[in-house]
Structures are given as C-alpha cells and as structure tokens.
C-alpha cells in the first residue's frame, strides 16, 4: 500500500535520528519520530472509525503534534481540514456542517464549548490535542503500534481541504490532492535550493497553506530542520538566526525585524534565504532590508487554491514590487476579466494559472468550481496583474478591490505605490466607497511614519502630477494602523464598511 504524498516525504527521511522540528520549548522531533508517531496517530484515527475519504477537522494551537496529525491523516487516507484558531464557535459550526468531518480535534480547554457545536453538526467524535503532549488524542495514540500500513492513495486523491477566508460571501473549501501538494513541494525544493543542511525559522501559523504546506512540506521533502516558534517574536527570531539558514515570513516579519536593534549584516551574514509571501511586500521594505542586511528578500505569489504560482528567482534579479516569474511547470497568463481574451503584453488584466499545483475545485460547490475555471483548464485567480517585458508578474490588486469611479477603472496598487513613496508615509490602502456623483469615490487610508508630518495636502501635491485626475483620492484618511488578517493581508472589506458613509450628506 502506498500513500502518494507520504511516500515523497519518507524518501527524504534517510537519517531517522536527524531533527525535523525543534520546538520553542526545547523538544526535538526526529524524522524517525515522525514516522512512528504519525503511525500511532493514524491507528488512533482508525479506532475512531476514520476510513478513506473521511474529513478530520482540526482547530488547535501550533505544535509539532499538529504536523504529526496532518501526516497521520495523509497515511490513513483521510482528508486533513485545518481551521483558523481565531474562528468563533459560530464559524466553526458552519465549517463542520459543510465538511461533515468524522472527527473534530480541538484544544483541551475548548472541548466543553465546542463539543455541542460538533454534535449539532453531526460529528461522530470530538477529541483534544494540546501543545504540551496533552489531550485525548495523545493518550490514545501512545498505546498504538509504531508501524502502520499506509492506506493506498494516488496522485489525484484528496489530501486536504482548506477553507478560503470568505470575505465576499460563503467560505469555500479548496480541495487539494496528494499531487497538488507533492508537485509544489518538489518544485520549491529545487527552485529555492533547499537541502538537508537547511534550518528554517518557522514562526508562521500552520492552519494556512504558507506555514503548513509551503514551509513544512518543503522541509519534509528536503530533509531539513525547522525551528518552531508559536508566533512572530522578533527577539526569539534574532536569537535563533545564528543557527538558521532561511526564514519564511509575511511582510510584517520584515517590518518588525527592521526595527530590531540586533538586525545588521553580521547577524544575517550566514543566512541563505529570506522569503516573503501571503501579502504584498512594500518596495520600501525590500529596499530597507537589503540596505540593512545585504540580503534581497525573495517574494513569491501563491494562494489557498494553488499553493505557489510564481517566485522571484534564487539566482538573478529579485525585483521589488513584483512576485517574480512563473514556477517551472506552472503557466501564468493575463486575460480580460470579462471575456477571458488574452491581453497585450504589459496590460492589466486577470491573472490565470494552470499547472499540477492547481486544486481540484471547491468542496460540494460544482457550479462555483465550473465558474472559476476556463475551458482550457486555467484557474481564474481573482487577482489583477500584468506581466512585464522580462516576464515578471506584477499584482495590482484583487478584482473585488477594483474601484470604478465615473466609469473609469482604478487599480488600488497603482495609487498605493505612489502614496507609499511620499515622505512621511508608511503605507496606504486605496478603497472605493459609495459616492453620489461618481458611483465610487477613490479613498486613501494612510498610516504616517512616527513623527512624520505628511498631510492630505502634501500627499496630494506629491502625487497629482503622477496620476490621472480620476485616480486621485477624493479623501485621505489617517489611521494608526491598517486592519489585517492573521496572514498580514490588509482587510479592505473592513475599511469599506468603516468608511462607506463618508461622502454622504
């Protein structure tokens, strides 16, 4: 019997005593431990009645054991369903009702609150998993055998379902196959030059594709080591950096570390690679990081439905403000969002992708799935962008974030880049809100630098000669910080709701 994805990982586990995860509390998980403990958990899942194709929903805090549970699901032929730890019981009720998992795994302290929710959704079993080797799943697992006959799963069989954020309606479950995950891990290991000598600082959440699949699968497949932190902690990262070779993070990681007194060329000299994703990296952050450390951050582009699509090159120019070139085996094109017709080179349109990384569709939503794919198999990402003369992909914003004012299209990223370049500005977000005369009014929400003296007038003076008049903000609002989700993405839907009445009399 063979599990397509797990077989990829076991081929890299040539040294069972090599450390795979070193947890922040000092615990070390070797590759041999990975095989044995994931086997025990797979047996425990089967004792709970889990059979091929069953879903196992998980809402627990970050720990090495959550990674072992993910691998146990893969080995048992189940479908792993990680859930954001910030989700409320009401939100959990929706996910459990939609996915109909056989088992729901939660924090020990949350069981009494969530068990009734799971029962209402018809979940057969609620078990617990804590961060200190506690919980009923651990108790059951420790009595199970350390060998397991992996359930036969092929390339097209599902390995995971990840729900999208649902900011524009009902959350959708993206179905990811064994080969979706395996192919992307193979590509990233080769493209980013990961080997068994690599040590990755891992401070990302593991309910999201970035921390779970991009980081974890890449290290599993390369045979490297992860230094596990529960969350972003600048002091802890700087302490670990002398032992590391690489770090994957969201832009917030880099802006926080730039303010750390210990960041300098000596502290990062031995590092091989800094990678950023999940949200746009400001060109200013890219430049400041390079000036302060001598390293150029490698920015890439992916999404829940596709894993990674593009990346700035390991060798070659890492261009600030772009997400690089299509990864090997992945096709990227720009199309008219209304009719799918190809756009001319350099023109803005919808980013569409095709490749072995692209998901199988949305869980129990065949009509939505059909609507998101072109007849030739390209997935419509919802991201607007362009491809320049060198082949680098530029993202200008989500299609839903497009501002239509007076019949003209305004792409937020274009205006944001001009405002962000103004002295005294940290960052900005462009939104469209209801306007009686123009349909939508272009509105800028701006964060000033500490002690900065940027004003609405100074910003408008700086950008008015660089942008067409219809692109200029009708109002500039100053805030201390922009609202973000757990992966660092600016929540423009929150801003639109907050300021939707500013142009009304």
Residue 334 backbone zone (phi > 0: left; psi -120 to 50: alpha; other: beta): beta
Give the least confident one: 84-88, 134-138, 253-257, 325-329. 84-88
Q: Quick: pLDDT tens for 238-295.
A: 999 999 999 999 888 998 999 999 999 999 999 999 999 987 888 888 999 999 999 9
Q: Give the 3-state secondary structure percentages of the chain, helix then strand then coil, rounded to 5.
A: 35, 25, 40
- Which pLDDT value is given to residue 488? 84
Q: Which residues contact 453 (CB under 8 A, 6 or more apart)?
A: 424
Question: Are residues 429 and 482 in contact, defined by beta-carbon separation less than 8 angstroms?
Answer: yes
Q: What is the mean pLDDT of residues 50-68?
A: 98
- Which pLDDT value is given to residue 505? 57
Please check the confidence at residue 169 and state whether its pLDDT lies above 70: no
- Which pLDDT value is given to residue 130? 98
H helix or E strand, kind and range, residue 492: helix 492-498
Beta bridge partners, 432, equal 442
- Ordered DSSP codes for 430-466: EEEEEETTTEEEEEEEEEEPTT----HHHHHHHHTTT
**CA-to-CA distance for 253 and 81, rounded, in angstroms?**
26
- Residue position matching structure tokens 């430049």: 287
User: In Å, how far are 94, 222, 417, 419 from 467, measured between CA atoms?
Assistant: 44, 47, 11, 11
Rounded to the nearest 10°, the torsion over CA 360, 363, 364, 366 is: -40
Report the candidate in 394, 413, 393 with the shortest Cα–Cα distance to residue 403: 413
Q: Quick: pLDDT tens for 201-224.
A: 999 999 999 999 999 999 999 999
Please check the confidence at residue 436 and state whether its pLDDT lies above 70: yes
Find the radius of gyration of the CA atoms of the chain: 23
Q: Quick: pLDDT tens for 364-418.
A: 999 999 999 999 999 999 999 999 999 999 998 888 888 888 777 788 888 998 9
Question: Are residues 34 and 17 in contact, defined by beta-carbon separation less than 8 angstroms?
Answer: no
């Amino acid at each position: 019997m063979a599990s397509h994805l797990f077989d990829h990982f076991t081929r890299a586990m040539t040294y069972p005593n090599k450390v795979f995860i070193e947890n922040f509390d000092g615990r070390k998980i070797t590759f041999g431990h990975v095989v044995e403990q994931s086997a025990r958990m797979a047996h425990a899942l089967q004792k709970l009645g889990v059979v091929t194709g069953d879903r196992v929903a998980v809402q627990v805090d970050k720990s090495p054991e959550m990674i072992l549970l993910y691998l146990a699901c893969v080995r048992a032929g189940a479908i792993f369903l990680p859930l954001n730890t910030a989700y409320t019981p009401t939100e959990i009720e929706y996910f459990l009702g939609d996915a109909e998992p056989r088992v729901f795994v939660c924090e020990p302290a949350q069981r009494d609150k969530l068990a009734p929710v799971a029962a209402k959704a018809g979940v057969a079993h609620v078990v617990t998993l804590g961060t200190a080797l506690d919980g009923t799943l651990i108790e059951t697992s420790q009595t199970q055998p350390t060998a397991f006959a992996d359930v036969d799963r092929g390339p097209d069989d599902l390995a995971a379902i990840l729900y999208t954020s649902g900011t524009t309606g009902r959350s959708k479950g993206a179905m990811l196959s064994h080969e979706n995950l395996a192919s992307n891990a193979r590509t990233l290991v080769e493209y980013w030059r990961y080997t068994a000598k690599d040590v990755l600082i891992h401070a990302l959440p593991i309910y999201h594709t970035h921390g779970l699949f991009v980081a974890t699968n890449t290290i599993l497949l390369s045979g490297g080591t992860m230094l596990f932190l529960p969350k972003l902690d600048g002091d802890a990262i700087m302490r670990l950096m002398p032992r590391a070779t690489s770090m994957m993070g969201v832009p917030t990681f880099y802006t926080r570390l730039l303010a750390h007194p210990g960041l300098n060329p000596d502290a990062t000299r031995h590092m091989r690679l800094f990678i950023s994703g999940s949200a746009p990296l400001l060109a200013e952050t890219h430049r400041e990081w390079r000036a302060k450390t001598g390293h150029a951050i490698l920015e890439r582009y992916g999404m829940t439905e596709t894993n990674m699509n593009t990346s700035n090159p390991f060798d070659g120019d890492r261009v600030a403000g772009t997400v690089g070139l299509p990864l090997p085996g992945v096709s990227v094109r720009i199309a008219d969002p209304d009719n799918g017709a190809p756009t001319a080179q350099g023109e803005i349109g919808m980013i569409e992708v095709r490749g072995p990384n692209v998901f199988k569709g949305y869980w129990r939503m065949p009509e939505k799935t059909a609507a998101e794919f072109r007849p030739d198999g390209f997935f419509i990402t919802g991201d607007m962008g362009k491809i320049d003369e060198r082949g680098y992909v530029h993202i200008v914003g989500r299609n839903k974030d497009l501002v239509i004012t007076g019949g003209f299209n305004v792409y937020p990223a274009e205006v944001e880049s001009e405002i962000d370049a103004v002295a005294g500005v940290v960052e900005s977000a462009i939104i469209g809100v209801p306007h009686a005369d123009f349909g939508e009014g272009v509105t800028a929400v701006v964060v000033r630098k500490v002690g900065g003296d940027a004003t609405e007038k100074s910003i408008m003076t700086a950008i008015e000669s660089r942008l067409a008049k219809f692109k200029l903000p009708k109002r500039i609002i100053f805030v201390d910080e922009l609202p973000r989700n757990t992966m660092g993405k600016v929540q423009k839907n929150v801003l639109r709701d907050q300021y939707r009445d500013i142009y009304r009399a």
